[in-house]
Amino acid sequence: MSLKLQKWISRSGWFVLIWVLSVLALGVVAYAIRLAIIP
């Protein structure tokens, strides 16, 4: 496994992690808003 490939995987891995976390956060916020609107 080359160093360049490893560096790219770690960089894209961080990007994917941040993207997944932001999508989960948006889902939680939308769910909370829906619960607040429709008790």
**SS (HEC) of the chain:** CCHHHHHHHHHHHHHHHHHHHHHHHHHHHHHHHHHHHCC
What is the per-residue pLDDT for 10? 86
Residue type, 8: W
The predicted structure's pLDDT at residue 17: 94
pTM over 0.85: no
**pLDDT > 70? residue 1:** no
Q: Is the predicted pLDDT of residue 38 greater than 90, yes or no? A: no
- Taken in order 8, 11, 14, 18, is the CA torsion positive or negative? negative
Q: Is pLDDT above 90 for 29?
A: yes
pLDDT tens-digit map of 2-23: 888 888 888 898 999 999 999 9
Nearest to 3 by CA among 11, 26, 36, 33: 11
